[in-house]
Amino acid sequence: MRILKIQTLRGPNYWSIRRHKLIVMRLDLENLAQTPSNEIPGFYEGLVEALPSLEGHYCSPGCRGGFLMRVKEGTMMGHIVEHVALELQELAGMHVGFGRTRETATPGIFQVVIEYLNEEAGRYAGRAAVRLCQSIVDRGRYPKAELEQDILDLKDLWRESSLGPSTEAIVKEAELRGIPWTQLSARFLIQLGYGVNQKRMQATMTNKTGILGVELACDKEATKRILAAAGAPVPKGTVINFLDDLEEAIEYVGGYPIVIKPSDGNHGRGITIDIRNWDEAEAAYEAARAISRSIIVERYYVGRDHRVLVIDGKVVAVAERVPAHVVGNGRSTISELIAETNKDPNRGEGHDKVLTKIELDRNSYQLLERQSYTINSVPPKGAICYLRATANLSTGGIAIDRTDEIHPENVWLAQRIVKIIGLDIAGLDIVTTDISRPLREMDGVVVEVNAAPGFRMHVAPSQGTPRNVAGAVLDMLFTNEQSSLIPILSVTGTNGKTTTTRLLAHIYKQTGKVVGYTTTDGTYIGDYLVESGDNTGPQSAHVILEDPTVEVAVLETARGGILRSGLGFANANVGVVLNVAADHLGIGDIDTIEQLANLKGVVAEAVFPDGYAVLNADDHRVAAMAEKTKANVAYFTMNPDSELVRKHVQKGGVAAVYENGYLSIVKGDWTHRIERAENIPLTMSGRAPFMIANALAASLAAFVQNVTIEQIRAGLKTFRASVSQTPGRMNLFNLGKYHALVDYAHNPASYQALGSFVRNWTTGECIGVVGGPGDRRDEDFVTLGKLSAEIFDYIIVKEDDDSRGRSRGSAADLIARGINQVNPNCRYESILDETAAINKALDMAPDNSLVVILPESVSRAIKLIKVRGLVKEEVQQQ
């Protein structure tokens, strides 16, 4: 077995609209191509021994053990690799369920599709599955140690990629709500939503969190002063910078017990509480000094530690934090009990799990001593032995939810305090003996206000109800799912994508909105180019969707990108499918036009149910996509008598129709005429039918997004596809006595489209300069010849400079064969050199004729034309 290629999909794709995270492995079974599993001696037994948990895979029999049954009866190795890859991820704690295996058109080569949670882990699992199966084929077994290592590696990949617990909670909630999120490439920034509607977060700070509030909260002394001035209960205390001042400070706070802490520490670092004598105070001072210059000396308040979380002015959760401790069982020593507690899989290092492992520090031994224990004591059964003085989760503490117990007056106080400090998300540390009674009565205090408070104690408390605090954050940032998004209009088809995308963007600009769009020529925002290049894949889509200035996204969505990585977004508001014609067949395991239609259909299927699939009613493969999409359907047609469209509008549907020389929107009984085709420059005075079709599609896509007829009209009339904007797309030049047209039509459907224009345009003679890239199939050249014979009066056959491996002259011969098949009397000649061929055509052009050039190099062809005294570029004219 050999892996030929591994691709990572990240959006709606050919295999699934709903499952966005898939690995596609192209697998050559080599010598196993003819051997189902039942014919490999010992394979079934070896597999069951290596991975007994495969028993849980139902597979097609639909019951436990179903998949193993298939292995026993005989199934192909690709299918087994799929299940093993899924199971390996499962064993590493990643729950994935989706897989598919298909044989490609090349016998023995399979596509194995598996779901992943983490990309790298998914690819690893694919490779490991192949290794595992190969080993069982070769040796009858897969070593246990290897499997354990695989699972450890997978767990590592999973952990390394995981976000912090607070961020994790927020993005999970965002996913549930259909709010898209991405991790930006720096500073752990998370972006939620798209375009102008996006919001940003970093841990639990939002782009609304004010810097003044954060800085104030980080300065514990300043916070206390402001709160004290407002009459809020804060610990009595003072700040010192020298050890010499410690004695006086202790006296000022009323003597022992006291607390000493750094003035700008966090996570309990450098803080000592319940200090009862001078020696302890001195040591505590040194410990705090290691963190901060200024040292806070405070009265120690007896009570339990609470964290009150306030989001958007409201208390959303309250947790009591209990310091790290163990409970005696009458047999084990304290150090054994700690080791036992730390075995809890929920305890990790730092903040990566729900809880943190218990570690002892300087204070722990003091604390043990006060409880008359040492690390080797055996506490009696049920006795609680505290190991840390402060209750921070990061020092091994646990959390108990108390949200339902807090007294309303404390709620009011907490909310008021957070307003005073000026934070949108804050965590208050409150020490009181009973949170269900007013602080005032209990002599409770607000010890600190935290900016960027952690969520894990609320989301996953050790006891009590988990609280959806991430939901409160999203409620604050977005009024609803829609308010996080911007309209996305995605355009696909075999021909006309770039033209339609540009036109649609231009029409949308008439609304005054900032439109971001991607095309084969580049990525644009408003009137400016962001980046040139073939930008029709998901990465370019992301540039637009992540841009904070963009209000509307119009995305050319080409087959290559969908196939390689899936769509760059989960849902579009409008998905336009222009046409499906034979092109690029045989590439990427898309071998038939039906498969190509399924691939392009992804654009129609990934539309929101309340959005629109804009479909070409005149192309039966496109029209059939109406069956698959959950969205509303809108049709465009060049045929005013289209039965399909007539029925559709009768049922209240909307359509764009070319009728009586007009581009019109038809809805119910009404026909809204937008404009005469003649007056739309793109349609070449109404003579290029395929451009009329593109214009209908763009108009309809805009219309279903509530762009007005007036705005659509204005857009259609002012859009000009000039050479500078769209080189090689129907560039027509007036050379005085005759015209020349340069177009980069590159498949039979586009030659045909071109032909329909040529016949409409001129009554004079028509000369074609034709040829195509050498890597096309033989039959494509013959087709080109046939079509040329139908379109042109005189044909000059040329070849590309780069013959792409084809022998010189052979493409021209194939074209000539096609010409002869259609019209043995057709006048033609072969001039293989493109420059010479173009020059010959221009030299011989009679008056009123049209020279149509399908060049390899568009810029060279245009240069050759321009030196002949260009009168004007025709498309500039109306």
- Positions in the binding site for ligand ATP (CB under 6 A): 235, 259, 261, 265-269, 271, 273, 298, 300-301, 305, 390-392, 429, 431, 447-448, 450, 493, 495-499, 520, 558, 578-579, 690, 693-694, 729-730, 743-745, 749-750, 753-754
Residue 84 binding: pick among Mg ion, ligand ATP, none (C-beta 5-8 Å cut-off by kind): none
Among 429, 743, 800, 873, binds Mg ion (CB under 5 A): 429
Rounded to a whole number of angstroms, the minimum distance from the CB of residue 627 to Mg ion is: 27
Q: Among residues 110 and 744, whose Cβ is nearest to ligand ATP? A: 744
Residue 235 binding: pick among Mg ion, ligand ATP, none (C-beta 5-8 Å cut-off by kind): ligand ATP
- The residue nearest ligand ATP at its CB is 496
Residue 338 binding: pick among Mg ion, ligand ATP, none (C-beta 5-8 Å cut-off by kind): none
Rounded to a whole number of angstroms, the minimum distance from the CB of residue 275 to Mg ion is: 18
Do the beta carbons of residue 596 and residue 590 sit within 8 Å? yes
Rounded to a whole number of angstroms, the minimum distance from the CB of residue 520 to ligand ATP is: 4
Q: Is 499 in the site for Mg ion (CB under 5 A)?
A: no
Query: ω before 748 within 30° of 0 (cis)?
Result: no
Residue 561 binding: pick among Mg ion, ligand ATP, none (C-beta 5-8 Å cut-off by kind): none
Q: Is 520 in the site for Mg ion (CB under 5 A)?
A: yes
Do the beta carbons of residue 513 and residue 478 sit within 8 Å? no
Q: Among residues 180 and 601, whose Cβ is nearest to ligand ATP? A: 601
Do the beta carbons of residue 530 and residue 522 sit within 8 Å? yes
Q: Which amino acid appears at position 292 of this protein?
A: S
Q: Is 498 in the site for Mg ion (CB under 5 A)?
A: yes
The C-alpha atoms of residue 472 and residue 65 are separated, in whole angstroms, by 43
Buried residues in 850-866 as b, exposed as e (16+ CB within 10 A): bbbbbbbbbeebbebbe
Conformation bin of residue 118: beta by default, left when phi > 0, alpha when psi is -120 to 50: beta
The C-alpha atoms of residue 517 and residue 716 are separated, in whole angstroms, by 17
The C-alpha atoms of residue 412 and residue 452 are separated, in whole angstroms, by 21
Rounded to a whole number of angstroms, the minimum distance from the CB of residue 180 to ligand ATP is: 26
The residues with which 355 forms a beta bridge, in sequence order, are: 347
Residue 743 binding: pick among Mg ion, ligand ATP, none (C-beta 5-8 Å cut-off by kind): ligand ATP
Residue 495 binding: pick among Mg ion, ligand ATP, none (C-beta 5-8 Å cut-off by kind): ligand ATP
The C-alpha atoms of residue 639 and residue 610 are separated, in whole angstroms, by 27
Rounded to a whole number of angstroms, the minimum distance from the CB of residue 729 to ligand ATP is: 4
The C-alpha atoms of residue 461 and residue 455 are separated, in whole angstroms, by 10
643 three-class SS: helix
Rounded to a whole number of angstroms, the minimum distance from the CB of residue 759 to ligand ATP is: 14
Q: Among residues 22 and 389, whose Cβ is nearest to ligand ATP? A: 389
Strands 488-492 and 572-577, bridge-based pairing: parallel
The C-alpha atoms of residue 789 and residue 812 are separated, in whole angstroms, by 14
The window from 76-84, 446-454, 591-599, 680-688 that contacts Mg ion (CB under 5 A) reads 446-454
Rounded to a whole number of angstroms, the minimum distance from the CB of residue 172 to ligand ATP is: 24
Do the beta carbons of residue 204 and residue 173 sit within 8 Å? no
The C-alpha atoms of residue 233 and residue 229 are separated, in whole angstroms, by 10
Rounded to a whole number of angstroms, the minimum distance from the CB of residue 445 to ligand ATP is: 7
Rounded to a whole number of angstroms, the minimum distance from the CB of residue 857 to Mg ion is: 18
Q: Among residues 89 and 209, whose Cβ is nearest to ligand ATP? A: 209
Rounded to a whole number of angstroms, the minimum distance from the CB of residue 68 to Mg ion is: 48
Do the beta carbons of residue 565 and residue 9 sit within 8 Å? yes
Rounded to a whole number of angstroms, the minimum distance from the CB of residue 500 to ligand ATP is: 7
Rounded to a whole number of angstroms, the minimum distance from the CB of residue 617 to ligand ATP is: 13
- Tokens 């221009």: give the residue: 842
How many residues of this chain interact with Mg ion, rule: CB under 5 A?
A: 5
The window from 443-451, 477-485, 588-596, 756-764 that contacts Mg ion (CB under 5 A) reads 443-451
The window from 106-114, 477-485, 493-501, 788-796 that contacts Mg ion (CB under 5 A) reads 493-501
The C-alpha atoms of residue 572 and residue 649 are separated, in whole angstroms, by 23
The residues with which 429 forms a beta bridge, in sequence order, are: 307, 448
Q: Is 497 in the site for Mg ion (CB under 5 A)?
A: yes
Cα distances (angstroms) measured from residue 69 to each of 46, 54, 85:
14, 11, 18
- Tokens 């049709």: give the residue: 635
Nearest residue to 5 (alpha-carbon basis) of 599, 589, 590, 602? 589
Q: Among residues 286 and 534, whose Cβ is nearest to Mg ion? A: 534
The window from 91-99, 210-218, 491-499, 737-745 that contacts Mg ion (CB under 5 A) reads 491-499
Q: Is 394 in the site for Mg ion (CB under 5 A)?
A: no
Q: Among residues 306 and 713, whose Cβ is nearest to Mg ion? A: 306
- Extract the tokens encoding 373: 């224990």
Q: Among residues 183 and 722, whose Cβ is nearest to ligand ATP? A: 722
The C-alpha atoms of residue 271 and residue 298 are separated, in whole angstroms, by 11
Q: Among residues 75 and 499, whose Cβ is nearest to Mg ion? A: 499
**How many CA atoms, within 13 angstroms, populate the side-chain half-sphere of residue 409?**
12
Long-range Cβ pairs for the range 369-375 (8 Å, 24+): 373/334, 374/334, 375/333, 375/334, 375/335
Rounded to a whole number of angstroms, the minimum distance from the CB of residue 264 to ligand ATP is: 9
Q: Among residues 87 and 429, whose Cβ is nearest to ligand ATP? A: 429
Strands 258-262 and 295-299, bridge-based pairing: antiparallel
Q: Among residues 284 and 838, whose Cβ is nearest to ligand ATP? A: 284
Q: Among residues 165 and 496, whose Cβ is nearest to Mg ion? A: 496
Element (H, E) at 713: helix 709-718
Q: Among residues 57 and 220, whose Cβ is nearest to Mg ion? A: 220
The C-alpha atoms of residue 861 and residue 310 are separated, in whole angstroms, by 67
The residues of the shown chain that bind Mg ion, judged by CB under 5 A, are 429, 448, 497-498, 520
